[in-house]
Structure 1
C-alpha cells in the first residue's frame, strides 16, 4: 500500500505539471544521509519557452537552485522521497495532496481542497525592452529569426540577442552624430544582413531619422537575397551591392561599419572611412595575420618575448598590437577611439570592437601619436602596419 500511495503522489505531480494545474511542491522532514539538507521546494518555470521544474535545495546555511526537465524532475522527486524525505506536499489548483509517513515509515496519501486556484507566473526569462522588437518584422521572419507571429525561434535566441546588443552599442554613438538631412551608412562585408537590416530599422522606425544604408557584400547570392528581403520589408532606403571592401568607394558616407572583415580587409574599411571623413567608424576586426607575420619574421628581443614564444600568446599579442595601432592611426586623423568587447566570447572569440567618432586633433598631438606609433612598432618588431601603408602615413 505504501508503494501504491507513492506512485499515486508522483502521478498527481506529473498530471498537474502537464495540465498546468501545478502550483508548487515541498519535500520535508528529511531523515537521509546528506548533511545539512532540510527541504526541497519545487516550482514550474519556463526557460526559452520550454517547461522546466526549478528545485531549491535548502540547507542549513545555503540554498542551491537547479532546473530540470519535467521527466527528470519526476524521477528525482521519487528518488528523494525514497532516500530520506518523509513527506511531500503538492499544491494544485484542483486539490492539495499530502504524502506523509506513519511510525513504520510507510507512505500514505491524503487529498484536501485546494489552498489556491491560481497558478503562479512561470516566466523565468524576464521580458526585456529591446531596441529591436520581434513583432511585425518581416526581415526577422525572412532571416529565420522569428516565426510569423513574431516569436523568436529557440535556435535563433543568440542571434536575436546579438542584434539587439549591436544596436545598444551603436545607438548612443549615432545620437551624438551631427544632424544630416539623410544619414548615409555603409556596412562593408554585410553578409546575410542581420545587423544591416536591424540598423536600418532602428534608424528609420525607432529614431525616425532619414537614412540611406548600403550593404556591401562580395557574394552575389547574398546580395540578391538581402535586396529581396529589403523589398518585402518596404525598406526603401536600404540597398545591397556586390563588391569588395577594397574596391568599393563612397565619398559621402557618414557612418562606416565593418564587422568581422578578415585580416587587412578591416584596414581597407577603416581607410575608406577616414578618406570619406566619416563621422563614425565602427569595426570588429578578425584574423590578425599581417602583424603576426611581421612579429614572427623580425623576432625582436624585448621584455615580453618570454610570452610570445608560446603560440597562443603570440596570437593574442598580434591581435592587441594590430588593433592598438589601428586605434592610434584613427586618433592621428582626429578620431576619438574606444576599444571594447562586442559580444561575449561564449559566442565568438573575435569579439573586439573599435568605435571611432570624428573630432579634432592638433599638429602637436599628431606628432606625439606618430612618435608613439614608431615606438610601438619598434618594440614589437613591426615593420609596416597595412593601415599606415594604404592611408599614406
Structure 2
C-alpha cells in the first residue's frame, strides 16, 4: 500500500517542476540557489527565473553554432558567482561534449570559488579569469575569437567593455543585460545649466531622478547604434517581467557584416545633441574630429 505524499514530498515536487529538464539539483545546491533541503526561497526563485529566461535566448544561438561539429566558445563578462556560466554548462555544454565557457570576473575570491566548484563538479571545459572586462581583450590567456559574448548585469561601463571585447574577438552573437549606468548621467549633470539655456529638451533631465533614468535610456540607445554601426543586427526586449528585476533590458546582437552608416550618423548626432561627443565619442567608436 503506497503512502500518501507528505507535505515535504509535495514541496520537493513543486521545486523540481520549476527546473529545466536535465538540470542538476546538486549544482543548484552548490550555487546556493537551492537550500540543502532542496527548497527555493523567493530571492533564489527570482534569480533562477532570470537565468532561465536568459538561457532561453542563448540556447538557440548555441544550437546554431554547434552545427557541423563546431565547438562553441562563450565568454561571460562580469561573471560574479557564475550562475549563468554553470547553468549553461550543465544544460548545454556538458551534454554537447564540446565547447568552452570562459568566466571573466575581477573579484579574485569569486573566481577562485568558481574554479573550485568547476573542479568539484568535473566541469572541465570551464575557465575562470581574475581580471576586469576592460583588460580581458588584451590578455594572451584568451582565444583570438569567441562565438558568444554575454554580460548579465555588468555594471555601468562594464557592458561597454563587453561590447568592445565582442568586437575585438569577432563575436557572432552578443547577449547583454545592462545594469546600473552612471557615466552618461554624470555627463548630463555637468552640462545641465548650458543645456537648459540652449534647448527646452533639457527639461527631460532637469530633475535628478530624470537625469538618472534618461542617462540609462540614452546609454542603451547608444550601445544599440554602436552595434548596428559595427555590423550587427540588434533586437531589444525584456528579460523577465518587471516584478522580478528593474534591470530588465535585454540587448541581442547578431553579426551580419552589414555596417549601417545611418546608425553611425545618428549615434554622432545624439552625442552632439546631448553634449556628450567630447566625453564619449571614442567609447562608441567615433572619431571626435568627425
What is the TM-score normalised by the length of structure 2?
0.82
In 2, Cα distance between the equivalents of 1:339 and 1:328? 12
Partner SS, residue 101 of structure 2: strand
Counterpart of 2:275 in structure 1 is 381
Counterpart of 1:188 in structure 2 is 77
Aligned to 1:352, which of 246, 249, 255?
249
Partner SS, residue 33 of structure 2: coil
CA, structure 1 residues 390+246, in 2 after alignment: closer, same or farther (shift >3 Å)?
farther
Bigger radius of gyration among the two: 1
Partner SS, residue 282 of structure 1: strand
CA, structure 1 residues 243+222, in 2 after alignment: closer, same or farther (shift >3 Å)?
same
Q: Which runs of 5+ in 2 are unaligned?
A: none
Partner SS, residue 247 of structure 1: helix
Contact 1:292 1:315 in 2 (8 A): yes
Contact 2:66 2:72 in 1 (8 A): no
Partner SS, residue 318 of structure 1: helix
Aligned to 1:237, which of 110, 122, 125?
125
CA, structure 1 residues 132+215, in 2 after alignment: closer, same or farther (shift >3 Å)?
farther
TM-superposition CA deviations, 1:174-221 (whole Å, max 9, x none):
334474632111111111111110111222245x26210011111221
Q: CA deviation at 1:141?
A: 1.6
Q: CA RMSD in A?
A: 3.0
Counterpart of 1:288 in structure 2 is 181
Q: Which runs of 5+ in 1 are unaligned?
A: 1-19, 22-44, 51-122
Aligned to 1:258, which of 151, 175, 192?
151
Partner SS, residue 190 of structure 1: coil
CA, structure 1 residues 160+288, in 2 after alignment: closer, same or farther (shift >3 Å)?
closer
Higher relative contact order (CA 8 A, sep 6+): 2
2:40 corresponds to 1:153: yes
Aligned residues: 272
Q: CA deviation at 1:386?
A: 4.2
> Map of 1:164-313 to 2, 5 A cutoff?
164-177=52-65, 179=67, 181-205=70-94, 208=96, 210-249=98-137, 250=142, 251-299=144-192, 300=195, 301-313=198-210
The structure with the largest helix share of the pair is 2
Contact 2:15 2:40 in 1 (8 A): no
Q: CA deviation at 1:325?
A: 0.6
Contact 1:336 1:358 in 2 (8 A): yes
Contact 1:213 1:237 in 2 (8 A): yes
In 1, Cα distance between the equivalents of 2:77 and 2:280? 18
Partner SS, residue 254 of structure 2: strand
CA, structure 1 residues 319+235, in 2 after alignment: closer, same or farther (shift >3 Å)?
same
Q: CA deviation at 1:247?
A: 0.9
Contact 1:281 1:355 in 2 (8 A): yes
